[in-house]
Amino acid sequence: MFAILASVSVVRFLLGMGFTDVLSGRSLVWSRTSACHYVDWSMYRIHLSKLYGKQYQSLLYSYGKRYYSLLTDIPKISALPVSTRSNVLKSLVSLSKFLGIHTEFTTAFKNHGIKWASGDSFKAFLNGINNHNDTVLDWVRSSGKVLRDHERLFIKFCLLTGLRKTEAVNSFNLIIELSKQSRLSEYYDQERHLLTHFKYDKIFLRNSKNAFISIVSPDLIKQISDSNTVSYSMIRKRLSKNNLKLRIKECRSYYATFLRNKGILSETIDLTQGRIGKSVFARHYLKTDLKMVSEQILKLIEELQASI
């Protein structure tokens, strides 16, 4: 018994000093309500890779490794800056699930009265009135002068689909890959002019960010099929070298605003941008209604394309 108590004391001391199990590449996490936990960071990275996109994986991993000690020192979470707290909490929730102590962590979290940082509505208002949507088309034209043909086509694809950066890269390259294999019909529904992202759930359906469909003209699909695959990092470097900002995220915003200003319902725009629940999509939108929605939006996309 004495030996066990002594071991526990040593573990607590080492944790307090910030020591980790260097030889195994693991970190010790002590739970006051359970046994001592080890974090196998290499396995945790693999775990994250199966659930999230690369950018979000990196966020959860880096914040988790930096703040994992707060799993057992929850009161310190409230002392974190509001700008940091949200990401720290996301990483701790993810890590607690991996360790199998999610229930213990969330219970202790609630008992301490700590709340998720809510969004700043005034900041959101300022972002809305200070956006630069009116210069997005100018940026698309300017970027086209310094990018290669397939990269310029990719930027147009982003503008005309409203996809997120990672989704757009994956979709663009998938079109080319499937076209070479004569399997493009598995992805592109030519009758309804739809890229059916939902069929490739491991690529496009993530925990919080999804892409279900994109409405794309046959002509644009043909151009992409005959093009080359793109690399986001190369586009970023080429733009940076020419003193141009990367504004793909704003293309998504411009697409949504353009459709809304043309009378498209917000619910329909949400559908094209993946902002509905997966089950809701499966139950209510996988019907012939999509053909009508597609025809309506395709006419507006052609109008948008003509402006660039």
Q: What single string gives the DSSP state of each residue in the chain? A: -HHHHHHHHHHHHHHHHT--BTTTTEEEEE-TTS-EEEEEHHHHHHHHHTTS-HHHHHHHHHHHHHHGGGGS-GGGGGGS-HHHHHHHHHHHHHHHHHHT-HHHHHHHHHHTT--PPPP-HHHHHHHHHT--GGGHHHHHHHHHTTS-HHHHHHHHHHHHH---HHHHHHHHHHHHHHHHTT-GGGTEETTTTEEEGGGSHHHHB-SS-B--EEE--HHHHHHHHTS----HHHHHHHHHHTT----HHHHHHHHHHHHHHTT--HHHHHHHTT-S-HHHHHHHTSSTHHHHHHHHHHHHHHHHHHT-
List, for residues 265-299, the tens digit of each pLDDT value: 888 898 899 887 666 666 666 665 788 889 999 99
How far apart, in whole angstroms, are the C-alpha atoms of residue 132 and residue 249?
12
Look at residue 3 in the predicted model and tell me its pLDDT.
45
Domain ranges of the chain: 2-111, 128-306
> Is residue 246 pLDDT above 60, yes or no?
yes
List, for residues 188-237, the tens digit of each pLDDT value: 999 999 999 999 998 998 777 899 999 999 999 999 999 999 999 999 99
Look at residue 281 in the predicted model and tell me its pLDDT.
67
**Per-residue CA distances from 133 to 106, 163, 178, 251 (Å):** 40, 16, 34, 8
List, for residues 3-33, the tens digit of each pLDDT value: 444 444 444 433 443 434 433 445 545 444 4
Nearest by Cα to 58 from 44, 72, 69, 40: 44
Q: Between 41-49 and 54-67, two packed helices, what is the crossing angle to 10 degrees?
A: 150
Q: Poorest-confidence range of 104-108, 115-119, 145-149, 154-158?
A: 115-119
Domain covering 128-306, topology: hpI Integrase; Chain A (1.10.443)
